[in-house]
Structure 1
Amino acid sequence: MKILVTGYNGQLGYDVVLAGKSSGLQMIGIGSQDIDIRDEQRVKEYVQTIKPDAIIHCAAYTAVDNAEDDKEICWDVNVNGTKYLSEAAKEIDSKFIYISTDYVFDGKGNTPFLETDKAAPIGYYGITKYEGEKIVQEVLDKYYIVRISWVFGINGNNFIKTMLRLAETRNELNVVDDQYGSPTYTYDLARLLIDMVLAEKYGIYHASNEGFCNWADFAMEIFKVADKPVIVNSITSGQYPTKAVRPKNSRMSKQKLIENGFKPLPKWQDALVRYVQQLAEEVK
Structure 2
Amino acid sequence: MKIVITGADGQLGYDLKRVLGPVHKVIALNRKQLDVTDEDAVKWTLMQHQPDAVVHAAAYTNVDRAEAETEASYQVNALGALHVASACHMLNAKLVHVSTDYVFDGTKQCAYTEQDMPNPINIYGQSKLLGEKFVQLTCSQAFIVRTSWLYGAKGANFVTKVLEKARTTSELTIVDDQFGSPTYCLDLALMIRELLETEHYGLYHASNSGVCSRFEFARRILQEAGLLQSVLLHPVPTEQLPAVPAKRPMYSAFRHGAIERHGLSPMRDWEAALAFFIRYDYDDSALRKQERGVR
Normalising to structure 1: TM-score of the pair? 0.97
Whichever residue aligns with residue 187 of structure 1, its letter is: L
1:1-58 Cα distance to aligned partner (Å, 9 max, x none):
1000111111111111210112x20011111011111111111000111010001000
Q: How does 1:161-176 map to 2 (within 5 A)?
A: 161-176=160-175
For 1:14, what is the secondary structure of its paired residue? helix
CA distance in 2, matches of 1:28, 1:118: 35
CA distance in 2, matches of 1:180, 1:159: 14
What is the deviation of 1:101? 0.3
Number of the residue aligned with 1:84: 83
What is the deviation of 1:255? 1.7
**Which residues of structure 1 form unaligned runs of 5+?**
none
Number of the residue aligned with 1:110: 109
1:119-140 Cα distance to aligned partner (Å, 9 max, x none):
1000000000000000000001
Mapped contact 2:171–2:232 kept (Cα < 8 A): yes
Whichever residue aligns with residue 234 of structure 1, its letter is: P
Name the CA shift for 1:170/1:102 in 2 (closer, same or farther; >3 Å).
Answer: same
Whichever residue aligns with residue 258 of structure 1, its letter is: E
What is the deviation of 1:111? 1.1
Number of the residue aligned with 1:234: 235
Aligned-residue RMSD, C-alpha: 1.1
* Count of residue correspondences: 283
Whichever residue aligns with residue 82 of structure 1, its letter is: A
Number of the residue aligned with 1:4: 4
Number of the residue aligned with 2:32: 33
What is the deviation of 1:280? 5.0
Number of the residue aligned with 1:62: 61
Q: How does 1:86-235 map to 2 (within 5 A)?
A: 86-228=85-227, 229-235=230-236
CA distance in 2, matches of 1:162, 1:37: 29
For 2:5, what is the secondary structure of its paired residue? strand
For 1:17, what is the secondary structure of its paired residue? helix
1:119-177 Cα distance to aligned partner (Å, 9 max, x none):
10000000000000000000011111100000001111101110111011111111001
1:256 to 252, 255, 258: 258
CA distance in 2, matches of 1:112, 1:183: 13
Whichever residue aligns with residue 152 of structure 1, its letter is: Y
What is the deviation of 1:96? 0.5
1:227-261 Cα distance to aligned partner (Å, 9 max, x none):
11212111111112211000001111112201101
Whichever residue aligns with residue 14 of structure 2, its letter is: Y
What is the deviation of 1:109? 2.4
For 2:136, what is the secondary structure of its paired residue? helix
CA distance in 2, matches of 1:142, 1:110: 33
Mapped contact 2:153–2:283 kept (Cα < 8 A): no
Number of the residue aligned with 1:270: 272
1:191-223 Cα distance to aligned partner (Å, 9 max, x none):
110000110011100000011001000000011
Number of the residue aligned with 1:16: 16
For 2:79, what is the secondary structure of its paired residue? helix
Name the CA shift for 1:165/1:85 in 2 (closer, same or farther; >3 Å).
Answer: same
For 1:75, what is the secondary structure of its paired residue? helix
What is the deviation of 1:278? 2.9
What is the deviation of 1:62? 0.3
Mapped contact 2:177–2:238 kept (Cα < 8 A): yes
Q: Which runs of 4+ in 1 moved over 2 A?
A: 278-284
Whichever residue aligns with residue 150 of structure 2, its letter is: V
Normalising to structure 2: TM-score of the pair? 0.94
